[in-house]
Structure 1
């Protein structure tokens, strides 16, 4: 069995599009937490920058994370994200070292 995958995704709103991006990202949470293998899918906004959004995700396996990237709700968001995002989505794929389980 694969080991868990932690994902940190960073997204920046285009100036003036902060509220629209926040709404679009918030809409991703309910269907994603129901996806197979989703352990955590938490959306955050930077305390000092209302245009800087971050997802903290934990997936049971890299394969289940990859499957999530192909879901209709995520594909739909990505198709329309050009109007909302200032730059690319920055994604870090991480393996937890401590504490052990």
Structure 2
């Protein structure tokens, strides 16, 4: 992974009764995102110790690729529906790979 890659980790907690709907929407966004040229990795995970919470781990070739991702129809549609699907705020962290993370086991 290049130090120019932008890593985004987001966590969403489904509203009660919306767990399956949120998971389906997140998986749909992931699949659509795989088609974007600047997306290196986009994966959705079920949090083991927190049913109904999902963690997205995303790697973009650059900040510009992430910005382009935010402008896609599938992301804008999801963002518009977050109020109905997510309890509280979507928690999003952005990071750049540390220099020592360039080894085969130090990168995503």
Give the TM-score normalised by the residue count of structure 2: 0.86
2: CA distance, partners of 1:99 / 1:88: 30
Task: Extract unaligned runs of 5+ from structure 1.
Answer: none
Report the equivalent of 2:4: 3
Q: CA deviation at 1:99?
A: 2.3
Report the equivalent of 1:38: 39
Give the TM-score normalised by the residue count of structure 1: 0.92
2: CA distance, partners of 1:24 / 1:72: 13
Task: Extract unaligned runs of 5+ from structure 2.
Answer: 104-108
Superimposed CA distance per residue, residues 5-47 of structure 1 (whole angstroms, 9 cap, x where no aligned partner): 0000111101121111111111111110111211000100101
Superimposed CA distance per residue, residues 38-93 of structure 1 (whole angstroms, 9 cap, x where no aligned partner): 10001001012221101001110011001100100110111112111001111110
Report the equivalent of 1:65: 66
Match of 1:99 among 80, 96, 101: 101
CA-based RMSD: 1.3
Report the equivalent of 2:79: 78
Runs of 4+ in 1 over 6 A off after TM superposition: none
Residue correspondences, number: 100
Q: Secondary structure at the match of 2:64?
A: helix
